[in-house]
Amino acid sequence: MNAAPKTLRHLTDCETAGLTNARKRAALEKVAAQYAIAITPAMAELVDRTDPNDPIARQFVPDAAELETQPEERADPIGDHAHSPVEGVVHRYPDRVLLKLTHVCAVYCRFCFRREMIGPSAAPLTQKQLDDALDYIATHREIWEVVLTGGDPLVLSARRLKQVMSRLAAIAHVKVIRVHSRVPAVDPGRITPELVRALKAKGKATYVVLHANHARELTEAAREACARLVDAGIPMLSQSVLLAGVNDDPQTLGMLMRALVECRIKPYYLHHGDLAPGTSHLRTSIEQGQRLMRALRGRLSGLCQPAYVLDIPGGHGKSPIGPNYFSRDETGRAQIEDFNGEIHCYPPAT
């Protein structure tokens, strides 16, 4: 009986799987020394080995370009540390906090904005640190929403997740729990009925936000995993990152958004790439992102339209950076541009 495929965690694993080769070993060893590697069987199977620019490989397979750091890049590009009152909590916005339960992920994305903070060698939260984090949430009554992140919270056992959800359920002023994860797509077998039950918190609205960047990630198994969540009454949203060579053309991005909606997942955010070290080869320009959003507007259903956002470096939060369709002419009259690029006065001339 053949053993089940295992997650690729080392360069030798990647070479054996045909994702890298020995000629690149010297440079990739330097990458592996800095940034964690993990490619699940589901994602390794999707990679087209005949395509040197395969969009799945670009997301997960280590690349020597990661050794090139630009002056503007930074270890904490969105300023988590500046807004962390206790270990494991980021309180950037008045009514919500991030609760970083783990520093481990099922896969390690080559563009990750927390790549300096996560990985198997990162220390997990101790029980005292988790208690302190939950106490912070309990004593700050302005916190209406808790976002479980990390790392990836869905790598935790159902038992562990249930414990955290139960403690959050006991905090009266917390009304919404949002779980950010790649797991339903990259390791769909983990979305078991037991784990789905663990995500339900009595009296709270639970949302799961799936991170997916290419329509191919939504395999049949991934769609079934998402359906288990949605059918259990857990609404799903998505977040994607705009990535050069992955989804930076209208057709590819549109296919992703449509695939998500077909899975009953509402596209939520399209993130501009953060200034994480060694990721410049995967970043686009903001102007390119705005052109892509214009290409989606009016040509795809409103259900398929995410908000294009930038996390301002330094911890200043997200801002929408999508294209603007409103202006005024030289007389001060309002003008609105339609999805075909035509300009209309508002209110219309009588």
Domain boundaries, the chain: 11-67, 81-320
Tell me the fold of 81-320: TIM Barrel (3.20.20)
Q: Which residues of 77-88 are buried (b: 16+ CB within 10 A; e: fewer)?
A: bbbbeebbeeeb
In the residue annotation, 14 being an active-site residue is answered as no
Amino acid 168: pLDDT: 98
In the residue annotation, 96 being an active-site residue is answered as yes
Helices (H), 35-157: 41-46, 55-60, 127-139
In the residue annotation, 132 being an active-site residue is answered as no
Catalytic residue among 274, 283, 304, 308: 274
Measured CA distances, 118 to 38, 114, 141 (Å): 12, 6, 29
Collapsed DSSP state (helix, strand, coil) of residue 203: coil
In the residue annotation, 112 being an active-site residue is answered as yes
In the residue annotation, 249 being an active-site residue is answered as no
In the residue annotation, 274 being an active-site residue is answered as yes
Catalytic residue among 54, 152, 248, 311: 311
pLDDT 10s per residue in the chain (350 long)? 667 789 999 999 999 999 999 899 999 999 999 999 999 999 999 999 999 999 999 999 999 999 999 999 999 999 999 999 999 999 999 999 999 999 999 999 999 999 999 998 888 899 999 999 999 999 999 999 999 999 999 999 999 999 999 999 999 999 999 999 999 999 999 999 999 999 999 999 999 999 999 999 999 999 999 999 999 999 999 999 999 999 999 999 999 999 999 999 999 999 999 999 999 999 999 999 999 999 999 899 999 999 999 999 999 999 999 999 999 999 999 999 999 999 999 998 76
Q: In this structure, what are the phi and psi dihedrals at residue 224, rounded to the nearest 5 degrees?
A: -65, -40
In the residue annotation, 114 being an active-site residue is answered as yes
Kind of pairing between the strands at 265-271 and 236-241: parallel
Amino acid 2: pLDDT: 66
Q: Are 186 and 221 in contact (CB under 8 A)?
A: no
Catalytic residue among 74, 92, 100, 178: 92
Q: Are 189 and 155 in contact (CB under 8 A)?
A: no
Amino acid 244: pLDDT: 98
Catalytic residue among 76, 108, 112, 226: 112
How many residues are recorded in the chain? 350
Catalytic residue among 13, 24, 93, 325: 93
> In the chain, what are the helix, strand and coil shares in percent, each to the nearest 5?
35, 20, 45
Amino acid 122: pLDDT: 85
Residue 177 identity (one-letter amino acid): I
pTM to 2 decimals?
A: 0.95
Structure tokens at 297: 């507007």
